[in-house]
Structure 1
Amino acid sequence: MPSIKQFQVTFDCAEPERVARFWCEVLGYVAPPPKGFATWEEYQRSQPPEKQGSWFACTDPTGAGPRLYFQRVPEGKVVKNRVHLDVRVGTGLVGAERLAALEAECTRLVALGAVRVELLADEYDSCIVMQDVEGNEFCLD
C-alpha cells in the first residue's frame, strides 16, 4: 500500500480570505495567487460573481508544512472542532519558561483577532486553547 506524501488542511468558513490571512500571520505562511494570475484580486475579478471569494489558499514558504485551503460554506460553526491545529511554540520548554512563550504568542495572536479561551496547565504540561477569527479552536502548545 503506497504512503501519502502530501496533504492539505481544509477549513470551512464564511470569509476564506480573512481566515487564511490570519493563519498566514500565525504560521508565517504565504498566499501566492493561483497560477496564471499576478494577484488574488486579479483572480477574483476573473470569476463569476457567485464564485468570487469562495476559496483562498496559503502555503508554507519552506515547503515543510501542509497547504492550507479555506472554502466558503453556507452554514456557520455550531459545535467544537473535532480536529484542530496545535501551534507548537513551547516545544522543549518547561515550567515558567514554557508559560512565558505561550503567553507571548497568545498576546501576539489576540492582536491579530484570535480569542483566548483558557489556559490548561498542570505540573507536567500546559497549553492555551484559543479561537481564530471565525471561532475555530486551536491550541498554543
Structure 2
Amino acid sequence: MAREIQITFDCADPAALAEFWAEALGYQVQAPPAGFETWDQALAAMGVPPERRNDASALVDPDGAGPRVFFQRVPEGKQAKNRVHLDLRAAPGRTGDERMAALEAEAARLVTLGATRVSRHEPAPPLGAGHIILTDPEDNEFCLD
C-alpha cells in the first residue's frame, strides 16, 4: 500500500524558509483553517501567543499531486551536511548545453530568492547528466538536476 509522505525541515525561521521553498517548488503556503483569512487570526483564536506563531509553516502543491512540505522551528542550528536532500528537476528531457543553460537560469533565479550557489558539475556521459548544488537560506543543500 502506497503512503502519503510529508517532507519536514527543521529550521530557525519557518515562515521565511517556507516562502523560499514555495517559490523554488511552485507550491503555496497552506491556507488557514476555514473561517480565517490569515494564519495569524487562526493562531490568535487558538490561543497561540504572538512569539510562538512562527513555530511552524507548511506548503502544499496547488495541483494536489506532490507531498506536503512542513517547516518546524528547532532551537539548534544545522550541524553537518544533509544526508537526504531535494533534487529539483529543472531541466527534464534536456541534455548537454541546453540542459546546463536551463539549470543555470534556475540557479540564478533561486539565488535572487536567497539560495547560495555551491558548485556546478558538468555532464559526464553516459550516466552523469550534469547538475548544480545550492543551499537554501538556512544552508540546507539541494540540487538542480
**If the length of structure 2 is used for normalisation, what is the TM-score?**
0.90
Segments of structure 2 that go 5 or more residues without pairing to the other structure are none
Deviation at 1:44, TM superposition (A): 4.0
Q: Percent identity?
A: 52
CA contact (8 A) 1:33 1:43 kept: no
Q: Which residue among 114, 137, 140 is the counterpart of 1:136?
A: 140
- Superposed, 1:1-141 pairs within 5 Å as 3-36=1-34, 37-46=36-45, 47-124=48-125, 125-141=129-145
Q: Which moved more, 1:47-56 or 1:129-138?
A: 47-56
Deviation digits for residues 30-64 of structure 1 (CA, Å, limit 9, x no counterpart): 11333143212223434124532100001000011
Segments of structure 1 that go 5 or more residues without pairing to the other structure are none
- Aligned to 2:28, what secondary structure does the other structure show? coil
Deviation digits for residues 54-106 of structure 1 (CA, Å, limit 9, x no counterpart): 00001000011100000000000010001100000111111000000000000
Deviation digits for residues 10-29 of structure 1 (CA, Å, limit 9, x no counterpart): 00000000000100001111
CA contact (8 A) 2:115 2:135 kept: yes
Cα distance in 1 between the residues matched to 2:123 and 2:31: 43
RMSD between superposed Cα atoms in Å: 1.3
CA contact (8 A) 2:57 2:72 kept: yes
Cα distance in 1 between the residues matched to 2:80 and 2:43: 31
Runs of 4+ in 1 over 6 A off after TM superposition: none
Cα distance in 1 between the residues matched to 2:43 and 2:107: 33
Cα distance in 1 between the residues matched to 2:113 and 2:51: 28
